[in-house]
A and B are shown apart, each in its own frame.
Chain A
Amino acid sequence: ETGVTQTPRHLVMGMTNKKSLKCEQHLGHNAMYWYKQSAKKPLELMFVYSLEERVENNSVPSRFSPECPNSSHLFLHLHTLQPEDSALYLCASSQDVSSGANVLTFGAGSRLTVL
């Protein structure tokens, strides 16, 4: 493992379900990110947390709700999702947000399928 762990690796949920994705980093980084990776699309930044405070929310629908209880853990709470939300959700961390050389360490991703 690279130091960023995501669970679950695969998730199938119905449109009315509530589920959560979890990310944990053991690198001592101060910033954590959620990215969405869909087929044939660029990596889309969803949320950024720096020292547990949200610093970026790229107009993500409210059915996605992030939580960062401490600098090592990041959650993405999911509710009433749509089939088009099916994608690979990647967590990443970096030393800082504003260092000017943000080397991201990614987790393996959570493959989400919304039925």
Chain B
Amino acid sequence: GENVEQHPSTLSVQEGDSAVIKCTYSDSASNYFPWYKQELGKRPQLIIDIRSNVGEKKDQRIAVTLNKTAKHFSLHITETQPEDSAVYFCAAEDKAAGNKLTFGGGTRVLVKP
């Protein structure tokens, strides 16, 4: 099955700086990679996703890049704001398990004002 590793586990940045979270996956057949954001005490919510037919996707201040050869993908947040403080989870679909998602361990991001 799929194995997803996520780094770092915690990330502290100054407001306005950029934040980068990296994930690696093991199943080369995976072709869907979503990112979920979970604010304190709230439910995880999808913020961006990427499919393997593209290498990069942007949505305002967030972007995701995918390197299928190296089997890693990253989340980039630019011009961070306090409301970006949350736990971010990457995931990859597990082809061997009927496309169900395997999640990384999460990254707690703290944006300091």
Give the B-binding residues of A (Cβ under 8 A).
2, 4, 40-43, 45, 48, 55-56, 90, 97-104, 106-109
B54 within 8 A of A: no
Taking a contact as CB atoms under 8 Å apart, the answer to whether A90 and B32 are in contact is no
- Minimum CB–CB distance for B36 against chain A, Å: 8
Which secondary structure dominates chain B's binding surface? strand
Taking a contact as CB atoms under 8 Å apart, the answer to whether B32 and A102 are in contact is yes
Q: How far is the CA of A103 from the CA of B104 in the complex (A)?
A: 16
Select which of A4, A48, A107, A109 is within 8 A of B100 by beta carbon.
A48
Question: Which of A98, A101, A104: most chain B CB closer than 10 A?
Answer: A104
> Which residues of B have CB within 8 Å of A109?
43
Taking a contact as CB atoms under 8 Å apart, the answer to whether B101 and A104 are in contact is yes
Task: Check A97/B34 contact, CB under 8 A, given A42-B104, A103-B46, A108-B43.
Answer: no
Question: Which of B31, B42, B89, B100: most chain A CB closer than 10 A?
Answer: B100
Select which of B34, B44, B99, B100 is within 8 A of A106 by beta carbon.
B44
Task: Check A108/B42 contact, CB under 8 A, given A100-B32, A101-B49.
Answer: yes
Q: Tell me the total A-B contact number using a CB cutoff of 8 A.
A: 62
Taking a contact as CB atoms under 8 Å apart, the answer to whether A45 and B43 are in contact is no
- Minimum CB–CB distance for A13 against chain B, Å: 21
> Which residues of A have CB within 8 Å of B104?
42
B14 within 8 A of A: no
- Minimum CB–CB distance for A32 against chain B, Å: 12
- Minimum CB–CB distance for B25 against chain A, Å: 13
Taking a contact as CB atoms under 8 Å apart, the answer to whether B100 and A56 are in contact is yes
Task: Check A42/B98 contact, CB under 8 A, given A2-B43, A109-B43.
Answer: no
